[in-house]
Every structure is written in structure tokens, then in C-alpha cells.
Structure 1
């Protein structure tokens, strides 16, 4: 009955066959040369036919081993143990052939016999490395060669020479040398087995790591898909409510109704800010956020943020102070950097119950260190490694919505990497925390004049709205009609094309994702083929990175649901102003190209 081998031993035997195959292709060259040397020493005293026949036999055995050992690793249908037995038989044949060279000993001088012994013992020593010390293969080679070598000395070359004590000692030393080689072989084989086992464990660990990485990437993709689906589904009704709420505040209302509308819009803006946090994560993961560095005044920039957050701090009875030199200038992206500092100040106010929050700016060589200090509860050392994880919040087990979703510091971490800044955290439990940023310092520059407010151009503007959900279309129509726009509604690109044939629109507002594989990008391209230069704005509740990247590459303005009335009006004015500049540039180009009269 066949004995089942452990998986570890199977791996060791397979590796041993691979090693024997490799050495079987390398060994013939030095071993064949050694055989030629022995034959030449006996050439003038032994029949050339005899020495030539022995050399031919040596090369035949070497060729057989070269061919057979090279095939053994590939014979998967033959048990490994059987293949190892064949390797042992080939090694025994090689040992017998080389031990036969000692038949030349009676015809050699003492010097030549010594050379022959050294060559044969050298081959035995080399076989320890070429067999990885595997005793079954090793012993059948060095056994015949060592015994025949020792016998040749203690017998006086087969009775040809008188046996002296020196020859007896040499015979004993040869046997002792063989015993030492066997001891070394055991150690070598043990090291070989350990190395193969470690390599197998490393391969297994690498496979487990790759599997874990694939599972993590799959989980991240699933999370992103969930964000996209949940965000899109939630943003649609929020967007509709936002539009109707904005339209409602434009109507004449009594004081109580106006107060209700105000609180409703406040709640919608709070919910929208939390949805925007999800959107920020998706946009950063999609790598569609571009960095636009510029030099700006750090003091006035921080002063604006202090004024903006001062009411929130006052409502909690906190102080909010700023310490920044007036001549501080930095070079970074002010919009993205503002998201970072805004999150840090917002967190500091949220998690501080008494005392205050300090914003400081200090010059350190070529950098400005901007820090937000608070006198809050601080962060425990065990939680420090988790504060930048998504949805992780310190001291909010009940998931109080007033404290956000736990995405602020996750967004900060991504933005800091994008801006190539250094973020440091110093916190002591019960004392407070300090989050600091190191920003590249810059020399003061003449600040560009603020652009004039865009002209209100919505009156009598013909706007084509494409959305596959009727409530959204009606809400958009209600809001835009309040601004004096003429609104045309369509549920698909095909319907929009039909309605645009008789009276082309001045502006297109299209949802990014429509039914039946239709989308706002395709709608904009189709309508621009009929109305060249048509301004187009995409509106989307989608947060999927690939969809955001697609919209970004299309070069269209993208608004994210829920869209406030102010955002919508600002985007429309910007789109119409851009179209006006394009027309002016085209007119100037035509004037420059026309010949002088």
C-alpha cells in the first residue's frame, strides 16, 4: 500500500528533482575533464583501448544522466518517489564507473596515484553540493569511489607495491574523509529542506496577501458602488425639495410660513453638506480633483474663516481667536486648502465644550505652520491611528448627526496628500488637540482685482431641462420661471432634440444619468451639433468615480445634487458669460481676417 506523503515533503522532493536536473546539466563538464586527466596519466602504461573505453563509458553515463535527470521533473504522471529512485540508480552507475578508474592504480607512479586520489575525493566533495546532501543519491556515488580508493592504497595497488604504514594511514584518512562528507551532507540537506519550506511558506503568505488585497479592493469597489447608488437615490428627492424650497421662498408668504420655509431650507442645507462629504471622498478617489496653486495672503484668508466660524463658536460659548502676521503669504490651492482648514476648525468647535479654539500661523524656515488648537477632550493614544478612517468618530457611539458622518478627517487626509502638505497631530487626553499644516511660504504679490459681479441674464432666457424624473423637471421649471426664464422640459435626448428643432434653446440643463443608457453628456453633444456653442450644465447625484471622471473629461460644468438656487444661478450666469466672451473673440477674429476697404 502506498504511503501518502505530507504536502511539505512533496514540495521538498519536487525541489530536489529540480536541483538534480540543474546540476545534471552542469556537472558533465568538470567531471568529464577529470576523467580525461586520469586516462592521460595512465595512457603510456595502459592499453589506449582500455583507457579510451573507460573514458567513453564515463561520457556515456554523463550523457545519460544529463538526459534522464533533465526529464525527471516533467514526468508528472510518475510518482516523485519513483523518480527519485531513478536518480539514485543513475548516481550509483556513475559511482561504479568512476571507482573502476582505480584499476589504473597498479600502473601509476606514487605521484600519479596521489593525483588520482585527490581528483576522486574532489568529485566526492563536490557531490555534496550537487545533491543538496540527499544521502540516497550521495552515498551510492561516494560509497564505491571512497571504498575503492581506500582499498587501492591499503592493498598496495592490488599487490603491485609493498604496503607501508603511510599507505595504511592514507586508506584510513580516505575513509574518514568519506565519513566527514556524510556528516556535512546531513547538515546540507537539513538546510535545503528548511529553505524549501521557508520559500513555500513565503509563497503561501504572498498568495494570502494577494487574496486579502483582492478582497480589500473588492470591498472598496463595493463601498464606492454603494456610495454612488445611495448618493444618487438620496440626492434626487433632496434636489427636488431644494428647488421647490427655493421657489417657495420667492413667493409672498406670511411670517409663520416664511419661518417654516426658512427652517426647511436650513435642514436641507445641513443634509446637503453631509452628502457633499460623500461626494468629496468619491471625487478624490476618482482623481478628478485638480490642484491650482497660487500665491495668496494667509492672514486675510484665515481672518475670513475666523469670521465665518465665529457665530458657531459663540453659540457654544467658546472663544475663537486668530494669531497670524499680516505679511504672511503662502503658495497652495486656496480652495482645496480651505476645505482642509475648514474641516479642522469645524471639528475643533464640535468637540470642544469649554474654553476655546485658537488658529495660529508661525513662520518656520521656508514654511508657514498653520495650527488649529482646541481645549476639547483630546484623543486617546489608542484612537490616534483611526481618526483618519472613514466614518470613524471619537466619542460619538450614538452617531449624533450634529457631529457629521465622520468623513471630515478622511477628506483632510486625502487633500493633504493631494496638496503635498505635511499634517501633524498632537493631542493629550483631557487637555486638547492641535492639528498643524506646513505650507510653502511665498513672497507677497500684488493681488488681482476682484472680478465684477456677473450680470443677471436669466430674464427671458430659454432653458432646456432634461431629466428622466418628472418631479425634478417640475421643480426646476418652478424655480427658473420665478427668475423670468422660459423653460422647456424633456425626459430624454430624443425628446429634447425634437423640441429644439423649431426654437433652439439658449442653455441646456441636463441630468448626468438618464434612463435607457442615455446621459447628459451625449445629450449635450447631440444638441451642440444642432446648436453650435450651446452652453450646457450637467446636474448629477452620482458619486461613482468613473462617472465623475467621465464628466470631468467631457469638459462640462458639473453641479451636484441637491443644487441650491444660488449655485444654479451662479453657474448659469458663468455659462452665459463664457458664451458671450466666445462670441466676442470670434467676432474680433472675423474682423481681423476681413480685408481693409
Structure 2
């Protein structure tokens, strides 16, 4: 029992002793008093921080400090840290040399800096810390932090996060903003203020980032470099202020730039030697401060004249920036307490932030103005679009009306010329009729082109996508145009693989290819035309090559416009009407492809387009539309009902049909036809031919009325001179065969034969 009690008492004693030792163990201490060796060789106490200038000590010079610490027991290793420890020093702890940089070469003047030094573990009893320093204009010693190494390191880290890392971060952000400003300036050279601001802030940021790093010796030339950076920053600040002021700077600019220029020359004349640079600073910095005050005053004048608060903020930031430079100059020269911090590394980013606010305001205003301008432009575009749509609709109505009115007499002339040619026997008269026929053919070509354009522009056109064998299609086009090639002595060659088959609309493909071949033959005087089909990727390329005059690169886009003819200012009829390639372009767009043009002046041209490949099918697949002219139809004893409101066209058609042996029932309007049906005076016809546009109705009404009376199987042919897209869509939806005016007797005969045969 007694042994257990004794053990318990021993444990309690040990715990109490450990607690006492822990309580007596020294923690982090801020040393605010130290002994210094006076000129008489005696140690006397001195409060920290110590400033040689305020005590009247010689600068530069040397000084010795001593700190005595009494400890009850030995503890863990210590560390020493101070925000203002001389960079040139010799430090001993209990006689052991800890750091010796007293004779270290440094390009800058002797200065104080933040330093963290590890110390050996202190001993029990008296411990002595000795510091010998070489001081410059800011000579002195800051508050010492002494204690266990982890706690001292934590104190040093807190200081570094605030005064080093945060300052570097702000200056890094300012430098990034400066680079953005310089990039914008590179794209907009007229923004001179933006460029000077970017250069100024970038230079200040680099200087401040290099300046705030503590504890490192400076390389050779660092003193001159820092001096020149100050001069350059002053010059850029003056240029920035002058650019902001604009025309107000003529009598300000030269005095503001004179100071940094003279200071730079003085620094270069020093040769880079540290003491010579320091002497230059004594005279140069006051001039630079005066120049900066002039620049800040100029910013204030600008801010006072303009009703923009952001410029006032910028002017105040400029004043703070100049005041910071004055403060740092006084601090560096030892005229202010040495334990104070430099402020220029903090006010430089402030200047960047204030100007960034000005730029942000400009950007916001520019965006607002851009949005307003965009709304105005959008409204104008909408109004212009509506106006263009109205004008286009008016144009379409005019073309439709004019085309219809022109087609009526042209079909009359065309039919009557055919009848007249059959009745004339004299060769001279035949030649005269042939010339009239050529003129009529030119007019019919124009009207046919307008019709094609109307079809392609209309929304009612249905594009059929089906397999189309190219060999038969190309051969049909070549057969139709071979006579024109022979007349000009040209070779029309074909190169089409038998297996070539594409997915597309046979009618549109034939129309595109025909217009390209006709265009090539028209403009080629010697050589020939080649129609080639070759495989390209997942499709087939159809190309028409010619050996014509070629087309200059500057003119190649124009040839696809309506009514454009190159080198034909007299608009000679033999060179066409300028619609062929416009039709080709529209037909290609409807099929989702593009017409490509390669041409070399003097060597010829090549027009081509690519369509997706399709599998070659049975002979029943789509092929080129038949273009062979039919012989005269045998209409003897055939009753034909003709409804046409235009007297001239009705008479011409009647003569042509009677010439083929037909018996006719002629009507001017749907009302006349219905009246004849009501009276029982209209026998069942073998064929109905009706104009589309009629007074009191249209051709579809006539077809419906006659089929209601004589059966739904009655063959019917619609004649029309309408080119309006809506009218064409209505006719396409009806499914009735249509013959577009003007037409020749041969086309009428072919249409009648197809209807009667079916």
C-alpha cells in the first residue's frame, strides 16, 4: 500500500515540475530595448526601433548592438527576425558567428531589409546576441523578434504575406492590365493615352516587384537600373498626363520631359558606380518630383474642365502617386523614420486601378452607344428590308404584267409566221420571213429566260430528287446543240462514264447543263467545247470546258448576275441576254450545290458543279426531258375547244389548228363556255385548250366546267403568259400540262400529240 502511494506522489511531482518548466519556457518575444556601444566605448540602453538619423549619428557608418537574455533552462533552437535588419551585418550568438555580410559587395547603398536568421539553441543562464552593422542613409535597427524558430518563422511569414506577397500580387495584376492596354494600343494606334498608360504601369509594376524582394544582394548595375526606371516612369507619367489633356499640353510637355531627360543623362554619366548614382539622386529626384507635380496638376486641370467623375478620381490618384514618390524619396534619403514602409509599391496599382475605372467607363459608354447604334441600325435594316421587299414585289408584279403583255402578241406573231412561211413560195419572201423569225426568236429567248428566273425564284417550285443517268442527259443536250457547234466550226466533245448517275432534279440539271453549253458555244470562236463528267469523292462533277477568251478574276463574280454581259456594251443580240449563268446559279442553289468557275484570260474557262452520286437503276429512272420536235399532228375530224380572251392569239391559234384539220369551238371567257354548255351547243371535244388568265375566271375553272359536262378524262392543255411565282405554283399544283407563251407551232404540236396519245 505504501509503495503505491509513493508512486502516485512521484507522478504528481513530475507533472507539477513539467508544467512549471513549460510555463518558464520562453516564447516569442518582441525585443524593444537593446544596448548600443556609444563613441566613448560604453554600452548604454536604446529603444527599438533605432533610427541613426533621429539620434544624429553619422551616416553612412558602423554601429554595434548587444542583447543579453537570462534563461532558467536550455530550450529548443531559436530564430531571429526583424523587418529592419541591416543587410550588411555581422551577427554572433553566444560567441558563435551566425551571419557575416559586413563586407558583402552590393550594387546599392547599405540598407535595411527584412531578414530571418536561425540561431542555435540557447543555453541555461546568460545568452548574448551581438549585432554589428554597416548603415547607409536609412541606418538603424528595427524591432527584433526572438524566440523558438517555428514561432519566429510564423511571424516572418505573416509580414511577408502582407508586405511582400500582397504587394507583388497587386503589381502583377497591374502589369497584366498594362499588357492588355498595350495590346489594345497595338490594334488602335490612335489611342496614345492607352499606350502611355500601359508602358507606365508595366514599368512601375516590374520595378515594384523587383524592389520588394527582401534579403538578397543586388547585382552589378542594379543601382543605375533602379535609377533609370525611376526616370523612365517619370517621363511616362508626364506623357500619359499630356496625352490625357490633349491640346492643353503644348506649353507643359517640354518642361515636364526636361527633368527626366536631364536626370537620365546624369545617371548615364555616372558610369553605374553606386556612390556616383547616389550623388546623382540627390539633385535629380527633386527635379523629377517637380515634373511629376506638373503632370498631376495637368490631370487635375483636365478633370476640372470635364464633367466626368472618373477623371477626377484619376487626377486624385495621380496626386497620391506623386505624393507617394515624395514620401519614398524622403524615406530613402533618411529624412523619415527608417522603420516606416515604402508606399509606392501600393500606390502604383492604385493609379492603374483608377485609370482602369476610366477605361471601364469608356467601355460601358461605348457598349451602350454600340447597342443604341445597333438598335438604330437594326431598325433601319428592317425598314430597308421592307422597302426592298416592297420594291422587289413591285418589280415582280411589273415583270409579270409586262411579260404577260409581251407574250400575248409574241405568240400571235410566232404562230402567224409559221402559217405565213407555209403559204409563201418566193425565196426572197422566205428570207424576209426568216429574218422576222430570228427577231421573234430573240424576243422569245428573253421571255423564256424571265420565265425560268420566275420559276427558280418562286417558293412553289418542287425540286424532285431522284436518280438521274448522266450519259443520256448529256447526249440529249449535245444533240440539241450540235447544230450550233457545227455552224461555228467548233468541236463539241463528250466524256461521260456510262455508270455516271447523280441524285437530283432531271429538269434542273438539264437546264443548267444546256445553259452552260450554250454559253460556251456562244463565246468560243475557235477550238471547241468539252462536257466532262468525272467522279469526285461521294459525287460526280459535271464540267463544261471551252477555249474561249476567258474571264478576268475581277469579273468572275459578276457573270452570275442578271443581265450581265462582259465585253458587250452594245448589247448585241448574238451574244445572248445575260440570263443563262444567273439561271444556272439559281438552279444549283435549289439543288444544294455551288457553281465553280476557273478561268484564265486568253486560255478559256471551266464551269462545274458537283452532285451526290446515286446507284444506276433500271432504264425507267429519270432522264433528260425529250426535246425532239413532233411532226404536224393529224387533227382531221377532231373537235377542239379553244378558250382565249386575246383576239389576236385566238385568231392565230385558230388558223394554226384549222391548218392541221381541226374543227374548233371558240370562246372568249368561262361565262361564254358555260352559256354554250347550258344551251347544249357544245359537243364533246377531243381536246380542251384554254388560256390561264381569263375575264371572270381562269383556265382551271374552264377545265372543271368542261370535265363536269363531258367526263373527268377529257384531255386539257393550259396556255399561260403568267410568270408570277404564285401563279406558277398554282399551275404546278393542278397537275395539268402547261405550255408557256410564247411558243412555236412545233411546241404546240408536240403538246397536242402527247395529250392525244395518252
Greater shift, 234-243 or 222-231, is seen at 222-231
* Deviation per residue, 1:128-179 (Å, 9 max, x gap): xxxxx9969x99xxxxxxxxxxxxxxxxxxxxxxxxxxxxxxxxxxxxx999
Query: Which of residues 463, 481, 484 is equivalent to 2:661?
Result: 484
* Deviation per residue, 1:259-280 (Å, 9 max, x gap): 5445544543343222111000
Do structure 1's residue 527 and structure 2's residue 706 form an aligned pair? yes
* Counterpart residue number, 2:401: 229
Structure 1 residues 479 and 423: CA distance shift in structure 2, 3 A: same
Larger Rg: 2
Greater shift, 390-399 or 517-526, is seen at 517-526
| Residues 632, 746 of structure 2: 8 Å contact kept | no
| Residues 240, 475 of structure 1: 8 Å contact kept | yes
* Counterpart residue number, 2:697: 518
Do structure 1's residue 271 and structure 2's residue 443 form an aligned pair? yes
Do structure 1's residue 423 and structure 2's residue 600 form an aligned pair? no
Aligned-partner Cα distance in 2 for 1:336–1:187: 58
| Residues 400, 722 of structure 2: 8 Å contact kept | yes
Give how far 1:481 is off.
1.0
Structure 1 residues 186 and 469: CA distance shift in structure 2, 3 A: same
* Counterpart residue number, 1:21: none
Aligned-partner Cα distance in 2 for 1:568–1:288: 25
Matches within 5 A, 1:492-511: 492-501=669-678, 502=680, 503-506=682-685, 507-511=687-691
* Counterpart residue number, 1:288: 460
* Deviation per residue, 1:72-93 (Å, 9 max, x gap): xxxxxxxxxxxxxxxxxxxxxx
Matches within 5 A, 1:440-455: 440-448=612-620
- The number of residue pairs the alignment matches comes to 413
More helix by share: 1
* Deviation per residue, 1:362-402 (Å, 9 max, x gap): 22232222211112121112212211111111111111111
Matches within 5 A, 1:166-565: 188-251=360-423, 253-448=425-620, 458-501=635-678, 502=680, 503-506=682-685, 507-515=687-695, 517-533=696-712, 534-565=714-745
Using CA pairs below 8 Å that are at least 6 residues apart, which structure has the higher relative contact order?
1
Aligned-partner Cα distance in 2 for 1:475–1:425: 44
- Look up the SS of the partner of 1:361 in the other structure: strand
Greater shift, 208-217 or 365-374, is seen at 208-217
- Look up the SS of the partner of 1:422 in the other structure: coil
Structure 1 residues 181 and 291: CA distance shift in structure 2, 3 A: closer
* Deviation per residue, 1:79-115 (Å, 9 max, x gap): xxxxxxxxxxxxxxxxxxxxxxxxxxxxxxxxxxxxx
Give how far 1:488 is off.
1.3
Give how far 1:213 is off.
2.1
RMSD, matched Cα: 3.6
Give how far 1:257 is off.
4.3
Give how far 1:478 is off.
0.8
| Residues 631, 749 of structure 2: 8 Å contact kept | no
For structure 1, list consecutive stretches of 5 or more residues without a partner in the other structure. Answer: 1-132, 140-176, 579-597
Structure 1 residues 455 and 385: CA distance shift in structure 2, 3 A: closer
More strand by share: 2
* Counterpart residue number, 2:44: none
Greater shift, 324-333 or 533-542, is seen at 324-333
- Look up the SS of the partner of 1:468 in the other structure: coil
| Residues 469, 501 of structure 2: 8 Å contact kept | yes
Give how far 1:410 is off.
0.7
For structure 2, list consecutive stretches of 5 or more residues without a partner in the other structure. Answer: 1-306, 314-348
Aligned-partner Cα distance in 2 for 1:530–1:272: 36
Aligned-partner Cα distance in 1 for 2:379–2:502: 47
- Look up the SS of the partner of 1:387 in the other structure: helix
Give how far 1:228 is off.
0.8
Give how far 1:413 is off.
0.6
| Residues 442, 573 of structure 2: 8 Å contact kept | no
* Deviation per residue, 1:43-97 (Å, 9 max, x gap): xxxxxxxxxxxxxxxxxxxxxxxxxxxxxxxxxxxxxxxxxxxxxxxxxxxxxxx
Give how far 1:435 is off.
0.6
